[in-house]
Structure 1
Amino acid sequence: MKKAFLVLFFTAAGSVLYAQNVATINSNPISSREFLWVYKKNHAGETKLNQKDLAAYLDLYVNFKLKVAEAKSLGLDNEETYKQEIAGYEDALKSQKKVSIDAPEYTYIMNEYREGVLMFNVCEQKIWGKAQEDDAKLKAYYTNNVQNYGGKSFEEVRGQVVGDYQQQLETDWVNSLRAKYKIKINQAELKKLAKQ
């Protein structure tokens, strides 16, 4: 009887926890509250939520979280310069006294900054640096896509080629991350958020 109760309790608790999360990446939850806070922050002025817009934004947010997960797997969160940058930001945030350190918003702001820096650092390594530094690959990309550049020479459209190549690198990388990490979207929770 006791064992059956414990199984039921943990199953119910797991369901409640899952219901409070809009998604998970390798069992790491994306809480509904955090997601909604980020969504509203980036969609100021919108008064009504709809499921289609939330789902589209969640797709982008999952891509962001995948990049953060990859940065952590590479140990970028353990680098001393990263730790110093985060500590400096936290000190500045505390000194402004605009948000209480006990408020959920404080946690969201700090998490957003931590993850934003990690995402920037890993993108620098995986995308931006590669596209800027490898002229041979840039020229090969240009040659393979020359029809997109209106007959202009590589030198004339180098900036556009860099941007397009970066986009291709990012698309390929995100696809590989989506294959590497297990992503679970909680459609019921997304629907519930749209009704708020």
Structure 2
Amino acid sequence: MRTNSTSSPLPLSMFASRSFSAITWRYKGIAALRLLFGLLWGVAAWLKWQPGFQTHFIDQVSAARQGQPGPIASWIAFWVSLVSVNPLLFARIEATTETALAVFLILGVFSNMMYVIGLLLSLVIWSTAEGFGGPYQPGSSTDVGTALPYAILFAILFAISAGRYYGLDQWLSPRLGRLSFLASGSLARDAER
């Protein structure tokens, strides 16, 4: 054990302050990641509200069918037939969902619910408009698409309860009662355990 010049051990408060600053840094990092991801979804939502996206929504979904193997082409065709009933409605549902994701991620409110919705939306986008990142043929595809990593990031944010770090879930969760599972939880409650 290290000692100072008077041969007494170093005070425990020195170690506690170092530990506290590392924890605070992690909390800020998690909150910044959630905030940046929310801003990214805000940009995506803004683009979805543009008339060009809403007018050509069905074309974008059906374009992913080209060059796909049979089962994937059938899956995308199912979604195209579903969306073709009212393409403008589906485009606006997507724009509204992405707007809500952005706002709730930025504020850190109802985070658990939003992480699940974001994960599911990302998987639907990946499996339809992005055609599972394919077609996987030589020279035609170089990555799996962007929506799959988004889904993975939503799962990570859920696993680390990112909404409770500098978010409104910290305040909201204890007040939700039976519905507290919709929010990420409270750090104060975790400290009591």
Task: Verify same fold: TM over 0.5.
Answer: no
> Which of the pair is proportionally richer in strand?
1
TM-score of the superposed pair, with normalisation by structure 2: 0.31
